[in-house]
Amino acid sequence: MSSLYDEIQEVRARYPEGSRSAVLPALRLAQERDGWLSREALAEVADALEVTPAFCYSIATFYDMFHLEPVGRHTIDVCTNLPCALCGAQEVVEAFESELGIRAGETTPDGGVTLRAVECLGGCGYATVVAVDDRYRQQVRPETVPAIVEDVRG
């Protein structure tokens, strides 16, 4: 298995020399390895890209998909933007809250699942959209929530 450093060099080669364009893919690689971006991981990415850790931090804090704190082994993101909201997204959030015993924005005590309400996922015609570990489940209704949770918990 290649190291994070090597993988980042491979990604860097896709972009013009001297550009910082590889920072998003590099941060994503680090997050895929660790599940989140610790200060140490940010320093590692910075080293591989020959930039400062502060620069990496400034980027990681700007984009919603980077986790700066540990998250659960699985993530459940429920879209609550307008089109899903009009079709009952709030009831879907509440069904997940009750099934998991946590509130949106929290992680189960066993570190298994993080539940979040998120902004538009781009599946508005198939409301409610729920991203389970970044894979979309569409037309989710409160009654289909238990099966999704069971599936995630494996």
Partner 1 sequence: MAEQHKVLLAGADERDLTQLAEYQAVGGYRAVEKARAMTSDALIDELQKANLRGRGGAGFPMGRKASLIDRKSAKPKYLVVNADESEPGAFKDREVMARVPHRLIEGCLIAAHAIESTDVFIYIRGEYLTEYEILAAAVDEARDAGIFGDVRIVVHRGAGAYICGEETALLESLEGKRGQPRPRPPFPPIQGLYAAPTQINNVCTIATVPVILELGAEEFAKTGAPSSPGTAIFSVSGNVARPGNYELDLGTPMRELIYEHAGGIAAGRELKAVIPGGSSVPALTPDQIDVPLDYDSLGAIGTFFGAASLIVVDDRCCMVQLAIRSTKFYMHESCGKCTPCRVGTRWMVQILEAIENGTATHADLELLDSVGDNIMGKVLCALGEFAVYPVASYLHKWRDEFEAHIEHGGCPFGSSSSLDGILAPSDQHAHTPAGTEALV
Binding of partner 1 by 36 (CB under 8 A): no
Is 25 a residue that touches partner 1 (CB under 8 A)?
yes
C-alpha distances in Å from residue 48, one per residue of 12, 56, 60, 117: 10, 11, 16, 33
Whether 76 contacts 38, CB under 8 Å: no
- Residue 14 touching partner 1 (CB under 8 A): yes
Which of 136, 142, 144, 153 binds partner 1 (CB under 8 A)? It is 136
Contact flag: residue 106 with partner 1 (CB under 8 A):
yes
Nearest to 96 by CA among 154, 152, 142: 142
Binding mask 75-104 for partner 1 (x = CB under 8 A): -----xxxx-xxxxxx--x---------xx
Decide whether 84 or 149 has the Cβ nearer to partner 1.
84
CA distance 65 to 149: 21
Interacting residue with partner 1 among 125, 141, 147, 150 (CB under 8 A): 125
Does 24 contact partner 1 by CB under 8 A?
A: yes
| Cis, bond preceding 128 (omega within 30 deg of 0) | yes
Is 67 a residue that touches partner 1 (CB under 8 A)? no
Listed residue (78, 77, 74) closest to 108, CA to CA: 74
* Residue 37 main-chain phi, psi, to 5 deg: -110, 100
Positions in the binding site for partner 1 (CB under 8 A):
14-16, 19-25, 27-28, 58-59, 62-66, 80-83, 85-90, 93, 103-106, 116-127, 131, 134-136
